Structure 1
């Protein structure tokens, strides 16, 4: 099949390594967009003395400009170390396990393309398993991204990724590294299914059009399609996940969902939609392009 698999040609280890490389490269390229998305999702509108409602961050480009202006350009790559940790684990596992899970679900008797429902089920399972293992890296990444410009003399909460891991364990306990696991499983399972299954499906649809071949243009279009479906479906759980990991005042995912709905309305669950799509769309294009090329090298 012309999808992600090539399961007869590349081993699980090869797929894991190529997926981790592609995911890490995409993470580095798009982290500023992700940082803007997290700041927008965590933002709460403040009322001034005259009753006017203001927002510190406005839009994707405005948020990026504000962060760069107030904190310096490197602040846009806050959380890059745990972000790379996350992609090595999560990125490698979710794609590395995808083909074996599809084969397990459908069996070895299938000839031709995998049915969409089996693709979705396999991606849901691999996304859930991968994020259970990688949740601590996600937590630390968001904690570092969430910290904005501090008043003079106020120390930063964490000096870096390793300090964040150790501080969280020391101050909050080992289990705190899995804060927000419920919405994170929901978010990543859903987004993984939207990305991988839609990438396969969009790619197959494009290849059925006369004149299209399995080349970079096809990979770009399929990657954009995967990113769009992932954001549309996963944005609400992504907001809940970011808020729970960035703010420890919420008791549970349900508590976070209810409070957000009551105080800000349903539109709050699509906060940061454009930077989220900008990030996930470009992330998927870069990741799938890189993944396809690395796999070609491994097969070559």
Structure 2
């Protein structure tokens, strides 16, 4: 089966493998920023008795520094194993299915530029489908990232990714692996559409500027643009998703949204915006650059 990408003309399996590889590589490079983002999002207003309690984590670099100092450098890569599980499934599916779904929406006889609305719809569809499959990996990643430094003698909640999967199933049931599915589907469908559609549009716009060609600089600028749009659009649902996955006291998506708004104010929905942009911006740049090269490599193998 050939994915309908005139630029690459590689099989769906080749597109899936290229997408999974690119997503995993980007994950390894940027997960410290994601860990910082999760900690900032889960941080609630401190309740002080007589004085003012200062928040433990401040800013992206401050949070990274605090985690590294208190818990060790390796703690910044907490959740990397389920993170890679997630990217193999989610990254491979959402990007691998994007072209086939887009072609399905426009029809096989369509000629010309695909409308932006169709690109967005295809991104929403593949993002929702992919995260519905990969939600358990996201849940475990957030749980591992959320666990900070423990007091002496206090055992860790989970010994690792596989232990986390089995412990959650034993203690909370299989359905618990899909905790936060609602906001997670909303977040990833929206962010996927924002990333893929904006990457296409930014790249298309840049290529119309004299002197620009389809090269690394264009991919870099397009990736940054895609990351910025994705964070602006997806940050509120991202915060709700992280809080629901990190804290089981919420009754549902609406409950989490209302309590966050009531207790922490509207700006809480943009907590961790800078590390989130640092994460998604750099993630998109690395992923798209790697993806372009990986697809070229796969094309050379398939056409040999």
- Structure 2 residue aligned with 1:79: 79
What 5-or-longer segments of structure 1 have no aligned partner? none
Aligned ranges for residues 25-174 of structure 1 at < 5 Å?
25-174=25-174
Residue 227 (1) aligns with residue 235 (2): no
TM-score by length of structure 1 reads 0.97
Q: How far 1:108 moved relative to its partner?
A: 1.7
Q: How far 1:8 moved relative to its partner?
A: 6.5
- Structure 2 residue aligned with 1:253: 253
Q: How far 1:9 moved relative to its partner?
A: 1.0
1:158-206 Cα distance to aligned partner (Å, 9 max, x none): 0000000000000000000000000000000000000000001111111
- Provide the alpha-carbon RMSD of the alignment: 1.1
Contact 2:127 2:185 in 1 (8 A): yes
CA distance in 2, matches of 1:248, 1:212: 50
1:194-219 Cα distance to aligned partner (Å, 9 max, x none): 00000011111111111111110000
Q: Which moved more, 1:39-48 or 1:198-207?
A: 39-48
What 5-or-longer segments of structure 2 have no aligned partner? none
How many residues are matched? Answer: 297
CA distance in 2, matches of 1:246, 1:78: 14
1:24-60 Cα distance to aligned partner (Å, 9 max, x none): 0000000000000000000012133323131000000
Secondary structure in 2 matching 1:46: coil
Contact 2:8 2:295 in 1 (8 A): no
CA distance in 1, matches of 2:283, 2:124: 19
Q: How far 1:296 moved relative to its partner?
A: 1.2
